[in-house]
Amino acid sequence: MYLPRSLISTLYLHLQRTHHPLSPPVLILVALEPDALCGCRILTQLLKRDYIPHKIQPIAGYGDLEKAGRNVIRPMMESQGGSGGVVVCLGVGGLVDLGGLLGIDTEEDVDSYGGVEVWVIDARRPWNLGNVFGGYPTLPPPEEGGEPMKQLGVDGGKLLRGYKPGKGGIVVFDDGDIEEQLDTERDAYMALIDMPEVEENDDDSEGSETGSENEDVVEPKLGQKRKSWSDRDEEDESSDDDDRPRQRRRSNSSSPIPDSPSTRPAQRGLMSLDGPPPLDTTASRSVSPTPAQPPRGPSARTLRRRLLKLRRKHETVLQAYYSLGASYSEPIASMMYSLASELGREDNDLLWMTIVGVTSMELYGRSAIGVTVSSQNPSTAASSWLGTRGSRIRQLLRDEVRRLNPPELSESSYTSNRNMLPENSGIIPTCARGPTDTAIRLSPEPKFLLIRHWSLYDSMLHSPYLSARLHIWSDNGRKRLHKLLAKMGVSLVQCKQSYTHMDMELKRGLRTKLLKYSEMYGLDDLVPSADTDGKDRGGAKEGWGFVRSWGWTATLSAQDVGIVVGALLEVGKQAVSTLQVGGWDRGRDNKETTDEDGTLEGEEWVGRFWDAYDALEKIDELKAALPTAQHLHRAILRTGTGLIEKRQIRHLRAFRMCVVKDGPDVALFTHPAALTKLALWIGEAIAEQERESKGKLGHGGRGTPLVVAGLNENRGVYVVVGTGGGGGGGMGFGDKTAAKEKKAKREAKAKARELKKKNKEKVREEKRAARQNDDEEDETESEGSDDSESESEDDEDDEAEQVKGFGRNKFGNAFQEVVEETNARVRIDSFEHCVVEVKKEDLAGFLESLSMKAVVG
């Protein structure tokens, strides 16, 4: 089931009204990523204000999720002696069949879900359609052989205002995409649910397009989902469910076909098989002219063929949806802030958590076309992070900052001209305006890294944006950086001291000088291009960052916080003390992470979650973790530079590839998120090289995808991550030229198909007139015509889906195909499906098979 955006607060308000001291605590399952962590912070603040007890459980991967279902969630079911309750999934389970994975919707339980209601808030796409349009408890039939009762307040999987929570089920929080974009998938899914069970045999499959496959479909009960392909650890699945889209789809139910426009003809045919008794033609001849013989209905075999063809058509729609590739939609933190707004609970703390969560999505390359390097034209709204949706979210956040942080009276008395305020004059704010200042402000942030906590030189040196465009990994690149600083009138001595202690005149003129000289080096987007005249005219301050102060204690940008929290999750708090003592101990965890399946490693990551969770609220802990973030980004620069200088990046058929197995920083990149940051750094450098050498990006303007493998020596595996090349299309990014060409082709094909259909209809009428008495032959002819038309429709649908998913990251699909076709030992446990673990000995064969796959749509 899914909850429309307009009703986002209804379930929470029901929880608020029905909660009492004996109610079970709300269980919150949180992914180990900054966006989910910020969303968790917002939700827990709401629950605390309403005195609703809750329990937080970090989830490292699908193994942890299944374990939580077995040990914590299943005992909550009323059928297991529990009292039900609410489970909130933040960033976990959106892509899999949650009912089956958690063990709360199984054939063994007559009372499915047992009063356990699961709320799913996730930014990853595609959704598991079983969760979106199913996920409600199975209701018993009113009598023997009767139709199952309909769930009240649910229409086509959509929750209505009349829905009564409390009976359990899975509820997906819709950010708007389900209602706007999944109409076709919903119709196909609901049609498959209502179809009767039909077996395929050799006779039925002779005249069909795909009948030779002889699929055996397992028929679940109404409301039950099949295991998703993402549930990799279930190795005892039947061999019939080898391909991922079929594992995701819903099978047919044994319930009868509803009286809908698409199925009404077939239903009438079924009813006419037992038609009226033969007429007494002798008696009727003496009374009146012979009545016309009632038309004979189609045979059972014909009806079965029609039903199978219709089922395959709907299954193809669902398969096409799952094959689009990975993408990201609205961040979890943004959805949680929408809930807080509906409840009237907005404040600066919740707004800041939202801003940090949204900003972290960009840091990890999460966009409308999956995990990929940043767009080559970020100044264009249609090409920015999450496309127009990203621009809209940022504009709403800027509006909220202005609303909740109005100018103080002291500021207006301080100066009559707001242009004199530091941020409005282009100066990056580095300190608060007073000891009690905790306001959030807009700031003209340049694309530097941790500039308030580093020197200007180090901040520019470690910036992925500057590194790619100045070729910072080479000697010539370093010289370009030195030349840029020299032209700006900043000496190396000055720029290598802490930025906060730089000369104030230099800091005041920094933005002006960057704007003046950045175009000479192709750094058009180095600083925000919005107006700095203090006149907030609609789109003014587009591209500006967000900064918050904690009195005299600290002033940090949202990007700074996102980087530090990410480093705590990827490297750990223990690294801080190690760095302060001097040196990084690569063997610090050898004794703890030597298990084969990564269980102990996952437990260590869960421990880091609490450090990051506390740091979001305790500014002292956040400041103490700054050295860890700096160390991680130094390692990214060192490792990326070494790979490029030593020419260790190979160009395979479908992507570029490099392996991190030597050097002082190998242990840092055993964490998938840290390895993803390295891959994005390298990918942006490669994309810039392609653009400079060829004048355009490879792969049709989408950039060359990249695969990076990091060795985990303790466990004998490689962590492999696949990223897109950037500059591609997708729903939000959209290569508009390619999309227009495809749309024109599609329209031309539709016209041709319509003309062909009319011609065939004409021929069919002629044949029907010539063969009045041969109904069966006419039926066969009609069947062939329908097949041709359906083929044409399928071709058009395929082309439409290609436009819809253009440029998306399809590494998750490709990884699964390689696993099915080879004997490589692969473990897919990450919620990020472009991340896998491969046994050390199997990496070569895995990459060889992967090179033959389509990894970007």
Rounded distance between C-alpha atoms, residue 88 and residue 341, angstroms = 19
Indicate if 701 and 822 belong to the same structural domain. yes
According to the model, what pLDDT value does residue 754 have?
79
Write out the DSSP string of 380-411. SGGGSTTHHHHHHHHHHHHHHHHHHSPPPHHH
Say which CATH number the domain at 723 has.
Answer: 3.10.310
The verdict on residue 503 lying in a domain is no
Indicate if 749 and 717 belong to the same structural domain. no
The verdict on residue 372 lying in a domain is no
Indicate if 649 and 795 belong to the same structural domain. no
The verdict on residue 688 lying in a domain is yes
Indicate if 740 and 794 belong to the same structural domain. yes
Indicate if 703 and 744 belong to the same structural domain. no
Say which CATH number the domain at 61 has.
Answer: 3.40.50.2300
Q: Which helix (H) or strand (E) holds 161?
A: none
Indicate if 70 and 158 belong to the same structural domain. yes
Question: In sequence order, what are the beta bridge partners of 3?
Answer: 173
Instruction: Choose among 124, 80, 125, 126: nearest CA to 102.
Output: 80
Please say whether the beta carbons of 685 and 635 come within 8 A: no
Q: Any idea what DSSP says for residue 551?
A: T
CA angle 204, 820, 718 (to 5 degrees): 165
pLDDT digits (tens, 9 = 90+) for 685-697: 988 888 877 765 6
CA angle 166, 169, 174 (to 5 degrees): 105
Indicate if 33 and 115 belong to the same structural domain. yes
The verdict on residue 504 lying in a domain is no
pTM for the model: 0.80
Rounded distance between C-alpha atoms, residue 19 and residue 55, angstroms = 15
Rounded distance between C-alpha atoms, residue 57 and residue 602, angstroms = 13
The verdict on residue 341 lying in a domain is no
Last residue of a domain, one of 788, 803, 818: 803
Residues of the chain with pLDDT below 50 are 202-288, 376-383, 412-416, 532-539, 581-582, 584-593, 727-739, 773-802
The verdict on residue 510 lying in a domain is no
Sign of CA dihedral 671, 674, 677, 683: negative
Exposure on the CB side of residue 355, measured as CA atoms within 13 A: 28
Q: Where are the beta strands (DSSP E) in 307-456?
A: 327-328, 366-367, 370-371, 440-443
Question: Rounded to 10 degrees, what is the CA torsion of 429, 380, 339, 76?
Answer: -110
Cβ–Cβ contacts within 10 Å for residue 696, how many?
12
Indicate if 6 and 138 belong to the same structural domain. yes
According to the model, what pLDDT value does residue 692 have?
79
Please say whether the beta carbons of 322 and 248 come within 8 A: yes
Burial of residue 599 (number of CB atoms within 10 Å: 0-12, 13-18, 19+): middle
Indicate if 727 and 741 belong to the same structural domain. no
- What tokens were used for 56? 């937080």
Indicate if 755 and 719 belong to the same structural domain. no
* Tally of domains within the chain: 3
Indicate if 128 and 42 belong to the same structural domain. yes
The verdict on residue 438 lying in a domain is no
What is the distance of C-alpha 221 from the center of its chain? 29
Structural domain harbouring 157: 2-255+305-327
Exposure on the CB side of residue 521, measured as CA atoms within 13 A: 29
Question: In sequence order, what are the beta bridge partners of 5?
Answer: none
- What tokens were used for 402? 């202005």
SS3 761: helix
The verdict on residue 112 lying in a domain is yes
Last residue of a domain, one of 767, 782, 803: 803
Indicate if 65 and 111 belong to the same structural domain. yes
pLDDT digits (tens, 9 = 90+) for 268-284: 233 333 333 443 434 33
According to the model, what pLDDT value does residue 139 have?
67
According to the model, what pLDDT value does residue 302 have?
87
Helix, strand and coil percent figures for the chain, each rounded to 5? 50, 10, 40
